[in-house]
Amino acid sequence: MTHGLALVRGAGVLLSLALALPAAPLKPVASVQLKSGAEVRGEVLSEKPDRVVIDLGFTLLAIPRDEIESIQAEDESGTLVVESSLAELFRIVAGSPTLSVKENVDRVAEAVVQIRTPVGLGSGFLVHPSGYVITNDHVIAGEYAITVTQFRRGQGELDRVQFNKVRVVALDARLDLALLKIEDAGETVFPSVPIGDSHATTDGQAVFAIGSPLGLDRTVSSGIISQRARALQGQIYLQTTTQINPGNSGGPLFNLRGEVVGVNNMKAMAMGIEGLNFAIPAAVLKDFLRNREAFAFDPRNPNAGYRYLSPPETVRGPASATRAKTLP
């Protein structure tokens, strides 16, 4: 690879700055696909919540994120990373190596967050560097005062960073999924976790979870996929032996490649029953994110986010009278 090699296909790039750059170590070349159909190839110098800066060798190019369709690049290990833009809000990783649970925790833990409301708490995870968070609907349903706490590794200590301005973007009670947006992060570029292929999971496959059961933040539990497609109440779930307790709700279920394959949301609780835990498959999460406009939350509309009133039904009374009753 020759330093400074860059190819630009098409047009429509919005901003460029000509700067003389000193020699620097070679970085992997990224391919940025724009919504206009153009493609830009160069080194990614920096990523901000609203833009990505590309080094074209003799020019720096700042591309607004809302103009980006996807970014493809190889990381330091040679793994192909595909980062989707705001259009899909999630990224996928091709060919990521299988690591131990400890090694995976080291690389994904900072993207797992704790979510608190005035009446309870749960878990969640960051899916986009601009601050989009996934959790369960039942964790935040009916609440507006939501805080998100991120746990960052500092110099020899753990930093707890709390964000208090959190907006509900979309939610669906039937799927039990909610999308939040951190609004008071400034120029922070958040770590995010890739979304895996839940269809590729197999019975007996090792998985692990990170969350805040009973408020015990950063708790790691591991297990296996007991059944990759368990039908419950008209929905398909991943059944797992990974411990999921109150407070784990909304947190990620990872495979050993560090990909989210499920969103933890419930467990069977009864005397003598153990190891029956369930997660929403990543395939359902991807569809929810791609179609989030359909579940958009509007605080002025009580029916926002799939919360539709039941249709009227005919109630038969005495033979002389028939009336329509609207169910609550």
Q: Which domain holds residue 15?
A: 8-87
Residue 189 included in any domain: no
Residue 33 included in any domain: yes
The verdict on 207 and 275 lying in the same domain is yes
Residue 214 included in any domain: yes
Q: What is the CATH number of the domain that holds 114?
A: 2.40.10.10
The verdict on 203 and 269 lying in the same domain is yes
Q: Which two tokens stand for residue 283?
A: 């395939």
| Residue finishing a domain among 55, 87, 119 | 87
Please, which residues have CB within 8 angstroms of residue 122's CB and are 6 or more apart in sequence? 114, 115, 135, 136, 139, 140, 211, 212, 247, 248, 249, 250, 251
The verdict on 175 and 139 lying in the same domain is yes
Residue 187 included in any domain: no
pTM comes to: 0.74
Residue 297 included in any domain: no
Residue 320 included in any domain: no
| C-beta separation of 13 from 38 below 8 A | yes
- The domain tally of the chain equals 3
Residues annotated as part of the active site: 138, 176, 249
Kindly state the DSSP code that residue 308 receives in the 8-state scheme: P
Q: What is the CATH number of the domain that holds 49?
A: 2.30.30
Measuring CA to CA, which residue among 286, 218, 296, 292 is closest to residue 251? Answer: 218
The verdict on 233 and 265 lying in the same domain is yes
| C-beta separation of 238 from 269 below 8 A | no
Residue 222 included in any domain: yes
The verdict on 12 and 51 lying in the same domain is yes
Residue 298 included in any domain: no
For the chain, 328 residues long, give each residue's pLDDT as a single digit of tens: 444 433 333 333 433 333 333 444 445 677 887 878 788 888 887 777 677 888 888 888 888 877 777 777 765 555 556 665 566 789 888 778 899 999 999 999 999 999 999 999 999 999 999 999 999 999 999 888 999 999 998 777 789 999 999 999 999 999 999 999 999 998 888 999 999 999 999 999 999 999 999 999 999 999 999 999 999 988 999 999 999 999 999 999 999 999 999 999 999 887 778 889 999 999 999 999 999 999 998 776 655 544 444 566 665 555 443 333 333 3
The verdict on 12 and 83 lying in the same domain is yes
